[in-house]
């Protein structure tokens, strides 16, 4: 249990390789679930795969969720816990100079490191960590990410064809995604900590892996963010997985599911090399 700003305790789960000793690199993960549902087990398969196959300590954060806790509470929770992990690296036997942050779907939205006004998710956490000069983050993994509120997508710069092409896609469709956004960001403000694609600058962010699914309404915003990162000089790897919808990795028999996990393992190993 980790205390956050208002005194609430937020739960973390720690995965550590068997028979490991000393300080290890860490993968700090924010689970998906549309900011409203999900828990540690939502990323359980990926957490186990990365822990076992790359030798990292995986730390999962179970942040407070909308609609009871809309933006920016979930992002602030995630960023506060990230800083706690870095401050307590010795106790956790974690190498605070080698941390990769990651997440899937809405969790990937919150993953970005840093911004000075408050904390937000994986893409958001990375931007905030940069802005506050929080050292030690060497990469970010954004899997099937939600990166921009549909009302504010910069269509003058990028295509968002997938939102209509895959409007009736199985697992998660356009209607579902709008409902989740309404719970998380009820006023639909164009805040770059809620919609990382709206950030004025992405320069200085860590190397990034982005995986997108071909039948996912979110596909094109992941591609757009990859293009924006590359334009800002951030080393970026984009991995499209053809012919599968959002959340396809729950179907373990799919070839694309094996590819999805292997892409993450290979990329993390490359960052640790």
Q: Which residues are catalytic?
A: 105, 216, 246
Q: What share of the chain is helix, strand, coil (3-state, %, to 5)?
A: 40, 20, 40
Cβ-Cβ contacts under 8 Å for 236 (sequence gap 6 or more)? 207, 208, 209, 210, 226, 229, 230
Neighbour count for residue 68 (Cβ, 10 Å): 9
CA gap 74, 62 in Å, rounded: 9
CA gap 110, 65 in Å, rounded: 12
- C-alpha dist (Å) from residue 67 to 64, 73, 106, 186: 10, 11, 14, 9
Q: Is residue 126 within 8 Å of 113, Cβ to Cβ?
A: yes
Q: Is residue 58 within 8 Å of 91, Cβ to Cβ?
A: no
Q: Which single residue is written with the structure tokens 């689970």? A: 31
CA gap 45, 115 in Å, rounded: 30
> Encoding tokens for residue 58?
């995986």
State the DSSP code for 207. P
């Amino acid at each position: 249990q980790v205390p956050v700003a208002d005194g609430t305790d937020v739960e973390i789960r720690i995965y550590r390789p068997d028979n490991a000793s000393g300080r290890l690199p860490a993968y700090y993960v924010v689970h998906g679930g549309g900011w409203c549902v999900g828990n540690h087990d939502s990323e359980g398969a990926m957490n186990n795969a990365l822990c076992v196959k790359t030798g990292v300590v995986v730390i999962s954060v179970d942040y407070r969720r909308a609609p009871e806790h809309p933006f920016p509470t979930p992002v602030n929770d995630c960023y506060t816990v990230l800083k706690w992990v870095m401050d307590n690296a010795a106790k956790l036997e974690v190498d605070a100079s080698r941390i990769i942050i990651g997440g899937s779907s809405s969790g990937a939205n919150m993953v970005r490191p840093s911004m000075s006004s408050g904390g937000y998710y994986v893409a958001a956490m990375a931007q905030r960590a940069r802005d506050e000069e929080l050292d030690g983050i060497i990469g970010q993994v954004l899997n099937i990410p939600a990166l921009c509120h549909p009302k504010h997508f910069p269509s003058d710069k990028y295509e968002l064809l997938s939102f209509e092409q895959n409007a009736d896609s199985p697992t998660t469709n356009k209607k579902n995604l709008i409902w989740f956004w309404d719970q998380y960001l009820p006023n639909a403000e164009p805040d770059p900590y809620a919609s990382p694609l709206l950030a004025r600058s992405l320069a200085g962010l860590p190397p990034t892996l982005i995986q997108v699914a071909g039948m996912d309404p979110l596909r094109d915003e992941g591609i757009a963010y990859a293009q924006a990162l590359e334009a800002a000089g951030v080393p970026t790897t984009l991995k499209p997985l053809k012919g599968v919808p959002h959340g396809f990795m729950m179907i373990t028999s799919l070839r694309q599911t094996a590819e999805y996990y292997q892409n993450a393992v290979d990329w993390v190993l490359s960052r640790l090399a």
